[in-house]
């Protein structure tokens, strides 16, 4: 990686190029989300607002699964919070890299944070640091916004299109597009694989979420997976234990 300073525009475009392969998988999922919004009676405007303001696909699908003619607002809010609770851990991991940024920019970065944006940006920080960039300069805000802005724009626009054209698109699930969402997370996990000595929290979290989903709802399974992952991280890393 070149250490020569790059312009903000060049860094932004680098972020767009980096995230482009992920957008291929995100757009069909956004179309499915929009079509689901139409199925429960929401307008394209509502689908766009849901995707643009919440910007967290898992919680949106969970909320739509609870939607009815009189939506149970408290249940939807709680479910969305449970599914999005993983962002507490993600933002805590990202915060040290944002300390050199003005508060307004840091808050803007956190708004655009999602699993894919977090993963690509954290990896970029470590790669820049290994290449010799000072730690307080390793975080590239233009690169981050290129990644996060592209994801955000493609997500809510595809939701609007999916909702508006739901009658023409039909049931996209028959083509297997719903597999794109878990495939994205599997790819991101592989990209961020911490190595054998630090992989136990990942394995424990995945196993806990998968097994508990057999008996519990998806939001509760996600929450249990997060708790199990944090607990195992303490035992295997903070506690000095390692899987040989």
Specify the pTM.
Answer: 0.73
Q: Note the pLDDT of residue 137.
A: 82
State both tokens at 194.
């911490």
Distances (CA, A) of 20 to 38, 140, 141, 151, 205: 27, 18, 18, 9, 28
Do residues 243 and 203 make contact, with C-beta atoms less than 8 angstroms apart? no
Which residues in the chain come in under a pLDDT of 70? 1-5, 69-70, 169-198, 218-219, 237-244
Q: Note the pLDDT of residue 60.
A: 84
Q: For residue 105, with 0-12 CB atoms within 10 Å meaning exposed, 13-18 middle and 19 or more buried, which class applies?
A: middle
Place of tokens 């757009």: 27
Instruction: Identify which of 84, 95, 237, 118 has the alpha carbon closest to the alpha carbon of residue 188.
Output: 118
Kindly give the residue spans of alpha helices, DSSP state H, lying in 7-140.
8-39, 44-49, 57-65, 73-84, 86-98, 103-111, 115-130
Instruction: Identify which of 161, 150, 58 has the alpha carbon closest to the alpha carbon of residue 112.
Output: 150
Distances (CA, A) of 130 to 1, 56, 124, 134, 170: 9, 31, 10, 9, 48
Give the integer Cα–Cα distance in Å for 80 and 66: 11
Q: Note the pLDDT of residue 154.
A: 94
pLDDT by residue (tens digit) across 104-144?
A: 899 999 999 988 898 899 989 989 988 888 887 889 999 99
Backbone angles phi and psi of 100, in degrees to 5 = -80, -5
DSSP state of 174: G
């Amino acid at each position: 990686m070149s250490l020569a300073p790059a312009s903000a525009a060049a860094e932004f475009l680098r972020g767009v190029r980096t995230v482009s392969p992920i957008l291929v998988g995100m757009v069909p999922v956004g179309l499915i989300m929009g079509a689901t919004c139409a199925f429960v009676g929401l307008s394209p405007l509502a689908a766009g607002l849901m995707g643009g303001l919440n910007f967290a696909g898992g919680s949106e699908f969970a909320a739509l699964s609870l939607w009815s003619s009189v939506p149970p607002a408290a249940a939807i809010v709680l479910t969305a919070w449970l599914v999005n609770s993983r962002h507490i851990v993600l933002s805590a991991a990202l915060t040290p890299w944002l300390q050199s940024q003005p508060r307004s920019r840091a808050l803007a970065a956190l708004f655009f944070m999602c699993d894919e944006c977090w993963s690509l940006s954290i990896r970029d920080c470590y790669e820049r640091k290994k290449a010799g960039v000072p730690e307080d300069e390793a975080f590239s805000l233009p690169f981050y916004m290129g990644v996060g802005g592209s994801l955000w724009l493609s997500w809510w626009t595809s939701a609007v299109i999916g909702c508006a054209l739901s009658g023409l698109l039909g049931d996209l699930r028959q083509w297997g597009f719903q597999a794109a969402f878990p495939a994205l997370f599997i790819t991101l996990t592989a990209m961020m694989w911490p190595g054998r000595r630090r992989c136990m929290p990942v394995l424990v979290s995945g196993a806990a979420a998968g097994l508990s989903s057999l008996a519990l709802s998806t939001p509760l399974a996600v929450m249990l997976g997060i708790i199990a992952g944090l607990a195992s991280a303490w035992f295997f890393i903070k506690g000095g234990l390692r899987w040989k």
